[in-house]
Each structure stands twice: as structure tokens, then as C-alpha cells.
Amino acid sequence: MYCLELAGDEDAFAACEAAAGASAVEIVAPGVATARGIDADRVRNLAYTHAASELIARTDPDIEAAVLALDAAGIDRTGSVAVRARDVRSQAGCSTQEAEQRLGSVLVDRGFTVDLDDPDHELRVLFSSGEVDGEKREACLLGWLAAESKRDFGDRRPTDRPFFQPGSMAPLDARALVNIAGAGPDTRVVDPMCGTGGLLLEAALVGSQVVGVDAQWKMTRGSRENLTALLEEADFEIIHGDATALPVVDESADAVVFDAPYGRQSKIARHELADLVGGALAEARRIADRAVVVADRSWEAEAREAGWTVDQRFERRVHGTLVRHVHVLSAE
């Protein structure tokens, strides 16, 4: 078993993405989850999971309970160690400094040496308390660090790219969406409304072959410019085309991901927007059996009409009145 340190403040969304790198993910308390197994390489590519650790023990969120659990645990490791404790969301009321000192003493008594800079092993201790789906949940999870996500999203800020347009999605969110869609090595991901190429970029960085389509020549040129500048080696193709009549053969993609035009910002009339999104959903279903669609409203009815099953839908507040609806779709 493993414990996961979730990022952000929307655990259900984080757990959905975590399933791209872990199996049988279960939220046990705010900001923490367990998993039956992990793919360490995929965990390193997650956006809304900080780290995965090999679970040693699970106790109440209490330092004394954590010390007793660690003292009773069978440990088959030797060498140097560092203890890192977190009071997740600052709700458990535990002193992380005291926890690190006391748990470190247990490990020193077991023969470990302390090395805070470059340890052979790192013990993660997660204290959490709060509500999950209206139910009080609390736990302390202790585990040996197995994999950490690479937090390099700030290096790819949309405003720093060669081609930028207002409203571009943050790399953190783009990475989460392509992970949920199943991007990774030996997969082909299509974005039929690719815009500046943010989703394509993140899918390519986790190993996918990517295809972008956009109806505006400006966007296809800009997207190609961004991917060329930011990807050292990647297999990508950018095409000028219509999302409702994709120049892509049937069943040739593993997943489709797109950020639909937002009604308040788009010059497209309401009925035309419905035709556009409905047509894009139908085309997505023709070429793939999995999709993630982002919009400023629910398109569940249109997705079902296009032949999709809506597995999950998340409402994620961005700012002010803007709420992103994330539709996770699979073939019926």
C-alpha cells in the first residue's frame, strides 16, 4: 500500500488525476489518500499529487500514536534518514517540528543516522483532520518516500511562451487534464481546438504523440511555434481544420482533450456554440474512446447524445464568476 500527498484543495479532482499513476486510489482524510500500487514514473508527472510513499502505518492524527506505530513497525532499511512531517491544510493541530524530532529519535534508536540534505531514505508523516463529503475524517499516515512529482510548471507560464493569448490555461491544470485523459508513452492525444497548444504541450511532455487542430490560422501557427520552442524532442502535428469535421481517421487516437469556447468571451452565437461543441463531441467519439472536455458550463446532454458516458464532472472555480466544468468521458 501507498499513501499519496494530494495538492490543491479539491481532493476528488486530485484523486481522479492520481488514478493515472496509482491504482485503487481512496481519499482517507483531507489532502491524503491511499493507493494499492503506483507507477513511479507517472507519479512524477502528476500535477495535483505532491508525492507517493510506501505506507508503514496509519494512526490517529496524534504524535504519540505516530511514535508508537513507528516503534512497532518492522523496518528492513538501514543508512541515513530524514523525517518530513506535514500538518495537511493546517487542521490537525500537530507540531510538525516535534513530530520530526520524536520520530527521528525512534529511527536513530534503530541504527539510522540523520542526514537532512541527502538521506538514503525519507520518512513522510502526514497529519490530517477535517471533512470529506460532509463526514469527519482524520488520520496520520507514515510512509517511505517512493516518488515525488516534478514541480516545474512555473517554467512554462503562458505569458513566457513565444505565442500568447489571454485566457490560456495554466500548465498545472493542463497537465492534470491530459493525465486524466490517459496521456503518456505510446498514446496519441488529439486536441480539436488547440489554441496556443497548452494541452498539447503537457501531453507531449508526458510522452504522448500529439495532434492539434484549430480553425484559426493564427492559432495553428502560434501553437506550432510554442511546441517547437518548448519541446526538445516530441512527435506533434498541427493542422488547420474544423473541430466538427476532423481530418483524422476513425479510432486513430487514444484520447481527445479540449477546452471549449466560453460563451461569455466568445463571439460565437449561443446556438452556433452548441453546434460547435456538439459536433466536436461527436467527432471526438469517432476517433477515440476517452475524452476530457473543459467548458464554462455543463455539456453532459450533448456528450451523451454524441455517444459518450459521463464518468465524472467537476466544477472548478477559477476566479470571480468563471467556473470550469471538467467532463471526464468514456465510450459506452
Asked if residue 121 has pLDDT above 90, the reply is yes
Asked if residue 271 has pLDDT above 60, the reply is no
Asked if residue 223 has pLDDT above 60, the reply is yes
Q: What is the pTM of this model?
A: 0.94
Are 185 and 158 within 8 A, CB to CB? no
pLDDT tier at 190, thresholds 50, 70, 90: very high
DSSP letter for 113, please. E
| 293-328: pLDDT as tens digits | 999 999 999 999 999 999 999 999 887 778 999 999
Q: What are the start-end ranges of the H helices in 83-170?
A: 96-109
Asked if residue 184 has pLDDT above 70, the reply is yes
pLDDT tier at 70, thresholds 50, 70, 90: very high
Whole-number percent of the chain with pLDDT over 90: 89
Question: Count of alpha carbons within 13 Å of 23, Cβ hemisphere only?
Answer: 5
Asked if residue 264 has pLDDT above 70, the reply is no
| 128-174: pLDDT as tens digits | 999 998 899 999 999 999 999 999 999 999 999 999 998 889 999 99
Averaged pLDDT of the chain:
94
**Strand 209-214 to strand 236-240: parallel, antiparallel, or no bridges (unpaired)?**
parallel
Q: Reading across the β-sheet that carries 49-59, which strands appear in turn?
A: 26-29, 32-35, 2-6, 49-59, 135-148, 121-132, 80-87, 113-114
Compute the residue count for the chain: 332
In 3D, which of 210, 202, 216 has the Cα closest to residue 256?
A: 210
| 10-53: pLDDT as tens digits | 999 999 999 999 999 999 999 999 999 999 999 999 999 999 99
Residue 220's contacts (CB-CB under 8 Å, 6 or more residues apart) are 194, 212, 213, 214, 238, 239, 240
Residue 77's contacts (CB-CB under 8 Å, 6 or more residues apart) are 112, 120, 121, 144
Report residue 63: phi and psi, to 5°. -60, -45
Cα 292 to Cα 159, 176, 190, 295, 327, distances in angstroms: 24, 10, 11, 10, 6
pLDDT at 318: 81
Between these two residues, 228 and 263, which has the higher pLDDT value? 228
Domains of the chain: 2-148 (3.30.2130.30), 153-331 (3.40.50.150)
pLDDT at 267: 55
Report residue 263: phi and psi, to 5°. -55, -40
